[in-house]
Amino acid sequence: MSDELIPKVKQMIIDSLRIEGMSPDEIDTDAQLFGEGLGLDSIDALQLVVAMEKEFGVVVPDAATGSTVFASVRSMAAYIAENRK
């Protein structure tokens, strides 16, 4: 089920972070989102938390959970699939 969410998660990342000129296909599903991979930072993480809650009704309760959830697009999709209301 989380595989169905991957394109939606990629689009949410692009939309919520206002990344221009990038398509969902250009985001590697298993690449790190922070640091070396997509190069996101802590401000981006906050925007993604808000976007996930708004779009999927999923809450990331703390930073420790967030570091696991935001490891990659695949981990985000899996978390959403498991915790969706």
pLDDT above 90: percentage of residues in the chain: 84
Instruction: Report the candidate in 42, 63, 61, 57 with the shortest Cα–Cα distance to residue 12.
Output: 57
This prediction's pTM: 0.91
- Per-residue pLDDT reduced to its tens digit, 19-50: 999 999 999 999 999 988 888 998 999 999 99
Amino acid at 53: E
Ordered domains of the chain (ranges, CATH): 2-18+28-83 (1.10.1200.10)
In the structure, how many helices (H) and strands (E) does the chain have?
A: 4, 0
Q: Give me the residues paired with residue 34 across strands.
A: 40
